[in-house]
Amino acid sequence: MHRVSVLSHARPSSKMLTYRRLLAGQSTTSSRCFSYLFSPVSPSTPVNPLLFEGRSSVRKSTPNSRNNSHRIRTYIGNDNKGVHGVSSSSQGPQAPLSSLASKSDTIHDTIDDTLHDNTHITPHNTHNAHDALKSNNTPDLTTFLSNFSILTNAAVPKQSVEPSPQAFPAHSIPSNPSDDPDALPPSISLTCPTTDVPITTLSGAQSYYETTAYERALSERGLNLSNAFSREDLTSLGPSQAHLVRWFKPLCAAIAKEQQLCHKGVTGTDRSNYGPLLVLLPPQKLAVISTHTALNHILHSGNKTTFTKLCVAVGDAVRAELGVVKVKHENEHGRGTFTDYKMKELLASSGHSANKVRKVNLRASKLLSDADYTWPTHLRAKLGAYLLGAVLSSCVDTHGNPCFMLERHRPTLKKIVGVMSLRGDVFEDLVAGPMGGDVFAVRHLPMVVKPLPWTDPQDGGYLYNRERIMRTHGCTLQSTFLETADMPEVMEGLNCLGETPWRINKEILEVQEEAYRRGLTVGDLPSKVDFPVPTPPDFDGEDTPIGPDGKVDKTSPGYEAFKAKFIKWTREKEAAAKVRQRNAELHSLRCDTTIKLGQAGQFKDYDKIYFPWNVDFRGRAYPIPPNLNHLGSDLCRGVLMFAEEKELGPRGLYWMKVNLANLYGADKRSMDMRAKFVDDNWDDVVKSAEDPLNHLWWNDGDEPWQILACCKELVAAVDSGDPASFKSGLFVSMDGSCNGLQHYAALARDLTGGSAVNLTPMPTPQDVYTGVLHRVLEKIDAEVSRDAGDVTDEELADHGAARDIFGLVDRKVVKQTVMTSVYGVTFIGARQQIMNRLEEKYEAAGRDIYAEEVEKSLWTSSSYLAKLTLSSLDEMFSSATATMQWLGEVAAIVSSQKQPVMWMTPLKLPCVQPYRRKKEKLVKTVVQDILLVDDEDNLPVSTQKQRSAFPPNYIHSLDSSHMLKTAIEMNKRGVCFSAVHDSYWCHPANVDEMNVVLREKFVELYSEPLLEDFLEDLKRRYPGCEFPEVPKKGELDINQIMDSQ
């Protein structure tokens, strides 16, 4: 199904467009609501109230659109709230309309006016502005920016206009603001960056968060500039602000000048490629996008990132911002209107005749006509390269020295890459500062209103930030199948998950903020102190023994001493490099922590926040906000709670105790023993809740922040005197036992494997990792006990490895390999996983892992242990292993036909594996040549990747189907539910009910002939191929799952 992209009139024809307008606090009748704000109004002209309630032009509420008037209201004209839910006055209902006018005499509003989507720049003033931009002797930035004359539908009059009292009927204004479900909480203060008017509604706040990521930064930049230039001093600003403010003006000037050259048709390197993209946004916004994107990547990667990656990222950021501008415009003026509007704006802002700008505008028009702005990668990279080139040349310090560096690095002998970084002292300035919103502009935030319901693959989630229901990563074939797919259950499941309301746990946030402020490394808070970097000894090579042929003379008497010195220098140099890498990773963690704590603080006063969801190409569901969400780290999960509080009931306290034991690591016991674990440690639970930073029992568990949240809630429930009536928003999570192996065992009806992962009733819960460990230890013991004389030369390495690791192997060493076996981990991957754990064991035992003999021991021991672990898994899951191999074989047959593997999930979601042979192509940019990896649909499929990745991808599609089925059923029952793949969350009072639903949906899923149906589909699509039959199933009774623990 293709969406209508052109309308014959301004009114939208889509219920989704109507829903977006209502949430944004806009009228659904037409764009006249903007005429109300911006058309000339005389004092005698009454204001049209454009009342929401009772208007025949407003679409009726439907179950799909969820247009419930108790939550979605617009008050344009009838309660003194204007466009985007901002109040038209902070002084009362009789405030003058002119308070909405922009204040052209301030730098803040002048900057923001240039970014307003309903504006363009007059040609005659553009020349003056660019003249001012080119001048280095312009101290007054306000004068410079005021040369941009902003035109709207008509100029807003300066005279005061009093709205008619009849424009605001008394019945339409809530008697108490707290009675309005769309009212912004009093503790939250937001101001529209383009009007300086306070925002008073949740719908207005949502519009603010989605559409003003760069405007907020630009507004702040403008205010700082105004204040700093008036004092002729930047020293009062923080380090990050001072740098950003200093860079802003010259960068804007460079971009504005380049835009004029594009309009004039002046030829230049690559200008014909990036020019049509460069002119689509104002220079101020492009300056903010390029600096913020560069800083985000550089700071997160420890002060270096590849230039190629950064070029594409900047191009993507421009494309995303243009998409938001388009959605905002078409919400106000109707679909299909943005391209014409933008072309008129480009013509007006160019300042030249139509003939001169015709070529660039035609190309720009073609790019704008792409509904989703799927610009080719090389064009995005060229645009990003120009903007980064402008950053490199324009962002300088007070002495004119560049702050950004572009250097050539040689990762291998045959490869040279460009790496972009900050100059060392600038990097330290930014790191030392309070890296907040000035640097980290984040577009995808949690929502403060319910997400739009998914009604087709392109409509749902955010109001303005356009996302698809699937993250296709540019796979055209996948997108084509989605357009024709009939998958109501997938959409319903995602909608159910998105409707779950959350809130910030303020108590935990306060502890996190205080601990981080004090530099405590509790929970997963990163250290604020870098590891000391060792200094390698000097090595100038002067004592290198050189023979007559000019090469190192290995027969020289001094060769051995030279060799030892060289090896020591090399190893210490490598050790120093590893420490520097650890410090870079540590800095990345600090950046990540700063963003998460900042967002938690930003949303802590909202009663409810929401996470919109979508799926990846396998059907696995993810919340879209990338930083703060319950899929994230323990720090994120610990600070989140369900917004709805529910009484614990008779079993809620019990399940809270079980949950605490699970989080602490005592999850290998029976449920009753887990509850007893909490009772036995009750004193520590109470002390942790009362004084968490001085009593750190909670910090010794597996998930410290969630443990602390649980401790506080448990103590509060017990102290209430009536735990059953205590209302709690804490979630209890129930995790699958190595969920991937559970799905394999169910598919294959593997009784032995199913018992190992708790698919059958057992006296106590089984731990598959411990089961594999026992088998591995038995084999190691048997090898160590062998007489040395019986060991052959071929067995000598394994025998020595068994002795080396005897007593060192525990559950943690084998866990990652067992966990990832379902995802197709190879022997090489398993060996590396085990080597990482053994290195920790060796270091704890005081062994130098950089010593040559220890490195050799690590290699042989890891290889030996990886072999034992994988063979033990095969023994425990024989039927499941056969199923895994069968899936790989059919994938190899399909890919041999030069086709990607495609399948339909049980919820009718079409899945296409995107793996193709990647092809590098050289792209010339204005800065340097870059290599882009091309993996488009016209390239041959990667046979090896298609085969190796299909078994785990297929299993992922099944576990996602199970989770979405559960979400739908829980929603029907009115139970608050969420999940993280194979971890299922609900209120403590609902755990027993959720456990029943989980098992029912699992049995329902695997009662279907999934593999048989998939084989029949393959035979229909590839009639000329011979596919092996489905492996014989085992003896597992799938219905036993209903009685399992």
Residues with a catalytic annotation lie at 735, 815, 982
Element (H, E) at 613: strand 613-616
CB 335 within 8 Å of CB 14: yes
Backbone angles phi, psi at 59, to 5 degrees: -65, 145
Closest CA to 883 of 692, 1036, 1020, 730: 1036
Q: Is 365 helix (H, G, I), strand (E, B) or coil?
A: helix
Which one, of 203, 591, 251, 574, lies nearest residue 387 by Cα? 251
Helix (H, G, I), strand (E, B) or coil at 919: strand
Compute how many other C-beta atoms are within 10 angstroms of the C-beta atom of residue 753: 28
Helix (H, G, I), strand (E, B) or coil at 396: strand
Q: Characterise 672 by phi-psi region: left (phi > 0), alpha (psi -120 to 50), beta (else).
A: alpha
Look up tokens 């009114």; give the residue: 11
Q: Alpha-carbon distance 714 to 734, whole Å?
A: 18
Q: Tokens 């604020």: give the residue.
A: 528
Hey, what are 247's tokens? 């860079």
**Cβ pair 981, 963 in contact under 8 A:** yes
Q: Which of 288, 323, 311 is nearest to 213 (CA)?
A: 288
The order of strands in the sheet holding 613-616 is 470-471, 613-616, 621-623
Compute the distance between CA of residue 932 and CA of residue 919 in angstroms, rounded to an integer.
8
| Distance from C-alpha of 38 to C-alpha of 151, rounded to nearest angstrom | 10
Parallel, antiparallel, or unpaired for β 727-728 and 732-735?
unpaired
CB-CB neighbours of 912 under 10 Å: 23
State the burial class of residue 523 (Cβ atoms within 10 Å of its Cβ: 0-12, 13-18, 19+): buried
Residue with tokens 């010195």: 565
How far apart CA 570 and CA 582 sit, in angstroms, is 18
Question: Helix-strand-coil percent breakdown of the chain, rounded to 5?
Answer: 50, 10, 40
CA–CA dist 814, 833 (Å, integer):
8
User: What's the burial of 520, exposed, middle or buried (CB within 10 Å: 0-12/13-18/19+)?
Assistant: middle
CA atoms of 802 and 783, how far apart (whole Å): 7
- Pull the structure tokens for residue 971: 């929603």
Contact of 837 with 812, CB cutoff 8 Å? yes
CA 919, CA 72: separation in Å to the nearest integer?
Answer: 49
Angle at 463 between CA 458 and CA 466, to 5 degrees: 40
| CA distance linking residue 384 with residue 375, whole number of Å | 13
Determine the distance from the C-alpha atom of residue 96 to the mean position of all C-alpha atoms in its chain, rounded to a whole number: 43
Q: Residues 6 or more apart from 866 whose CB is under 8 A from it?
A: 817, 827, 830, 831, 833, 834
Report residue 456: phi and psi, to 5°.
-155, 175
Burial class from Cβ neighbours inside 10 Å (0-12, 13-18, 19+) for residue 785 reads exposed
Nearest-10 Cα torsion for 744, 747, 753, 755: 120
Nearest to 367 by CA among 326, 412, 398: 326
Distances (CA, A) of 531 to 575, 579, 740, 795: 12, 7, 38, 41
